[in-house]
Structure 1
């Protein structure tokens, strides 16, 4: 009986998302006790909507982090891509084409980030920090700080990006789930997914066995930015307008979601599903604190505490699994 119990515990510990899932259950339980309005369908929909926009960025950045790199420009890309789309659509370009143009520009930013990191051989943290500041500055200068509203009558496609669905759900939630499935399949079921983990775990060894390390990193930088642009468009689809300050600090919350979900800051290990859960956990924290009547400035502090606890828990789980 004792052996079966130990085997069960070991199997549970081998689940990469167990730390994030445990945290989500505990936090949900606590806020359910603190507020009668927390555990309701309406609140769940609100949490899932805001978590989806963060989560789409988080799963993209987790995909990149597993390859051993960071991207701090995703918050700026979140605003830049839909701003380009809105500007083109308002000038008469069909919304679908404006959307594709915005995503293409987002991908170009990611590709540029990757090229700078690889060719200049500077840390991705520094390269993308510069990119974040540059594109945010350009965005604010061009828009003069004003919100851009969508002036067209073609709203069907925008609703498909962030509009309401049945039972109060938003389309952004479907994009979030679809993105998680696609990236999870790539990471766990394809040869390229193995290459990503190998590059993040040990680039030298990966290169020695014939993996094109630079190509993998360029692709992942591009995918990360495209997902950030998609997240921005889901928000644009929800409000039919875009604020040039949108997405500020989202890059840090996205990285926090990935780390809470089990991703290593050093690369080579992570879970797209874990990042999904991590983003939802952050959404639960935000909503729970509001309903509990806590001051708004407590939110960042609680996220910091959860992040540190998640890293400690994930480290202990990994050590327990490998027997260190």
Structure 2
């Protein structure tokens, strides 16, 4: 009996090294559940829809993950997504070449992220409060500039196709951007000194500073990357729909945090995984698509996400506290 208990303890201690465990358990549970109860869930069209949803949310969530590992929050990503998409739309309608409009929108997002990071690190203010204010400010700016009306744009370009064009099998190009960014972020986080600095800044800032890590600089870069990825997701959405409304991205910050936490990233910082966040985004996509196919009312979506989130967090904490 003692041998079995010891083996169980060792296996749990090994699992602590993998933040993705809780997300993987949630992913399998959701996938198997909808495969049984939702007709046509496993069809190519359904899988393509899931991947499209996961890609646009996942790009935002990857930035949120890196920032949360560094010990900070960004609640303004939904507003940044909307502002960037609207900026791209307005510049495109004004006749500005799409590539320049694309770079301009990303630059605007980078400036917003830099401002958030500067206020948080220089003013030593809680990022939760700073980005909450930023979220409300930029949403208000967006509503004021547009007068509350959506912006439509019917023309297409090679850039817009590269961002969200439909590929063979019904999938969108956004899936490639999502997987590419996830791979790069994983390599940066696990194989580079900057990745080590991100973990150190969130896990123990005092010790990180003693070792020569510029914690404020690491966090500021994290805010910029988060805003730029939110902008990329917003422009991808605009390229897919051909329009953008002033409420675009509203609530995205909560879904991104849900995907991140479901993926095993701790709210306290210093621990997390981009691959776990990818699974978390896929879970959100499966739930949104699966509920529709199962004929469930739309208002069950957030309730289901909440259950999956709590379940994944319980598994993650159980594993983290073992050994």
TM-score by length of structure 1 reads 0.95
2:39 paired residue among 31, 36, 40: 36
1:1-324 aligned within 5 A: 11-12=14-15, 14-150=17-153, 153-320=155-322, 323=323
C-alpha distance in structure 2 between counterparts of 1:96 and 1:235, whole Å: 16
| Distance apart, 1:163 and its partner CA | 1.1
Q: Residue 82 of structure 1 contacts residue 99 of structure 1 at CA under 8 Å; is this kept in 2?
A: no
CA distance, structure 1, for counterparts of residue 171 and residue 6 of structure 2:
41
Across the aligned residues of Structure 1 and Structure 2, the Cα RMSD in angstroms comes to: 1.7
How many Å apart are 1:15 and its aligned residue? 2.4
Inter-partner Cα distance in structure 1 for 2:12 and 2:124: 43
TM-score between both structures, scaled by the size of structure 2: 0.95
In structure 2, what is the Cα distance between the partners aligned to 1:239 and 1:35? 26
For structure 1, which segment, 16-25 or 219-228, has the greater mean C-alpha deviation from structure 2 after superposition? Answer: 16-25
Deviation per residue, 1:8-41 (Å, 9 max, x gap):
6654553221210111111111111112211211
Q: Distance in 1 between matches of 2:197 and 2:12?
A: 30
Q: C-alpha separation between the residues in 2 aligned to 1:243 and 1:171?
A: 22
Q: Structure 1, residues 101-142: CA drift from partner, whole Å, max 9, x if none?
A: 000100111110011111222110000000000000110111
SS in 2 for 1:145: coil
1:2 CA displacement: 6.7
SS in 2 for 1:164: coil
Q: 1:299 to 1:94 in 2, by over 3 A?
A: same
- Alignment deviations for residues 235-258 of structure 1 (CA, whole Å, 9 cap, x no partner): 011112111111111100000100
Q: Say whether the 8 Å CA contact 1:95–1:154 is kept in structure 2.
A: no
Mean CA deviation greater in 271-280 or 2-11: 2-11
- Cα deviation, residue 294, structure 1: 1.6
SS at match of 2:125: coil
CA deviation map 1:194-225 (0-9, x unaligned):
00000000111111111111100100000000
- Taking a change above 3 Å as real, the CA distance of residues 133 and 210 of structure 1, as seen in their structure-2 partners, is same
Cα deviation, residue 146, structure 1: 1.2
Flag structure 1 segments of 5+ consecutive residues without an equivalent: none
d(CA) in 2 for partners of 1:244, 1:15:
39
Task: Report if the CA contact (8 A) 1:117-1:127 is conserved.
Answer: yes
Moved over 3 A (4+): 1-14
Distance of 1:105 and 1:136 partners within structure 2: 14
Stretches of structure 2 lacking an aligned partner (at least 5 in a row): none
